[in-house]
Amino acid sequence: MKALCPGSFDPVTMGHLDIIKRSSRLFETVLVGVASNTSKNALFGPDERVEMLRESVADLPNVEVRLISGLLAEFAAKENIGAVVKGLRFASDFDYELQMAQMNHRLNADLETILLPTAAKWAFVSSTLVREIAILGGDISAFVPPLVVERTRQRVAERRAGR
């Protein structure tokens, strides 16, 4: 079965990679779907996020990274995806993810959602916090892959310089 790990991944964190790697052991093929919609607070554009993710999962032969847009349920139907895998950091994540799972199943009856608890060592990490730490000059190297550390430093420096 093919699974989908969707997200914005702005930037990809070690918590994201943990869920993707664990999914790659559970499913024949895992498609990491990078949401193309960007918020005004986005640090990286969609293509940059795809590129960083591809580099970060290069050692996982059954994982593919793609940009997705539109309804997740429709994308999954087009790609013959049978499961969506989402990570849960806290109990409060469950309410939102359950609602999304039920809506996606209503839109695509062949689509199941698998909720994986995030490894405890990554439960407090979020892309939002990583961005904030980086923008304020903190060290993010414990929370993201090395290539993301460098690109984030560069992007923050560019923004400070007004580029």
Note whether 98 and 110 are within 8 A (CB).
no
The residue assigned the tokens 């093919």 is 2
Each residue's pLDDT tens digit, 47-98: 999 999 999 999 999 999 999 999 999 999 999 999 999 999 999 999 999 9
pLDDT for the residue numbered 39: 64
Residues 24, 58 contacting (CB under 8 angstroms): no
Mean pLDDT for the chain overall: 95
Rounded distance between C-alpha atoms, residue 8 and residue 128, angstroms: 11
Active site positions, annotated: 16, 40, 89, 127
Cα distances (angstroms) measured from residue 26 to each of 11, 20, 51, 85, 103: 24, 10, 24, 10, 24
107 pLDDT band (50/70/90 cuts)?
very high
In contact, 29 and 60? CB cutoff 8 Å:
no
Q: Taking the mean position of all CA atoms in its chain, how far away is CA 156? A: 20
Sequence ranges of the domains in the chain: 2-123
The count of residues in the chain is 163
Within 10 A of 25 (CB to CB), how many other CB atoms are there?
Answer: 9
In the chain, the N- to C-terminal Cα span, in Å, equals 44
Identify the architecture of domain 2-123 in CATH: 3-Layer(aba) Sandwich (3.40)
Alpha carbon distances (Å) from 36 to 68, 70, 90, 158: 6, 9, 26, 22
Where is average pLDDT lowest: 40-49, 52-61, 100-109, 120-129? 40-49
If one compares 107 and 40, the residue with the highest pLDDT of the two is 107
